[in-house]
Amino acid sequence: MSKLIMMRHGQSQWNLMNLFTGWVDIPLTEKGIDEAIEGGKKIKNFKIDKIFMSSLMRAQMTAMLAMSVHNSKKVPVIMHPQDSELARQSVIHNEEALRNCIPTIIASELNERMYGDLQGLNKQETIDKYGKEQVHIWRRSYDVAPPNGESLKMTAARSIPYFEKYIIPELEQGKNVFISAHGNSLRSIVMDIEKLSTDEVLKLEIATGEPLVYNYENSTFTKEFLGAA
């Protein structure tokens, strides 16, 4: 049996400022840092063999902060594309150091919904301008995208195939995988593994810095409920 551990990033600076963020690369707030560390404490005893995180800083900060309190004391090492200069120049030549590393993959497929023309706008001011109903449709409908942005359906169209192609094979090999990503990319993955309807996924809320843990065995996911850290 293997484990899938997923965590939505902690509070970001634009979460705090009530701005649409999407793919704008914003760091965590002090509260977000605390959330990431507290989330990390809840998974500190789980063996982690591989980490996947989005290409956005807030998810990457969350992964690294969570792992900073992990009992294994292993070091996440970002793996770069094999044909890149970074990959050629970052070979580890110490076997003991290599054993103490956790391969860490950056994937834009796990990024948040891209909010298009809304990115950087204040959410309340957007409601005042376009109306509460229209903004609600942009934010919470399954297949309606904001202007020049992505819907949840479009987000799922990139996150789920990536999950099935790159992450499930790791679970099939008995590895424990940690994903640090975003509310909407994680909602789409949960929709896939729990076989939620489009109506059910729209009601799904994923808290910042709160780990979701699933056991995986015989191609079946079973949710594990965590106690206090």
What's the pLDDT tens digit per position in 19-42?
A: 999 999 999 999 999 999 999 999
Write the CB contacts of 173 (distance below 8 Å, at least 6 apart in sequence): 2
Predicted confidence (pLDDT) per residue in 84-122, tens digit: 898 889 999 999 999 999 999 999 999 999 999 999 999
Where residue 170 falls among pLDDT bands split at 50, 70, 90?
very high
| Confidence at 212, pLDDT banded by 50, 70, 90 | very high
pLDDT band with cut points at 50, 70 and 90 for residue 149: very high
CATH classification at residue 33 = 3.40.50.1240
pLDDT (mean) for 192-196: 96
d(CA 178, CA 48): 7
Q: Is residue 197 part of a domain?
A: yes
Query: How sure is the predictor about 228, in pLDDT bands with cuts at 50, 70 and 90?
Result: low
Residue 110 belongs to some domain of the structure:
yes
Domain count, the chain: 1
Tokens of 130: 């376009």
Alpha-carbon gap, residue 217 to 15, rounded angstroms: 36
Mean pLDDT over 181-197 rounds to 97
**Assigned domain for 194 exists:** yes
Give the residues across from 53 on adjacent strands: 106, 180
Residue 229 lies in a domain: no
Residues spanned by the domain of 50? 2-224
Task: Give catalytic residue positions.
Answer: 9, 112
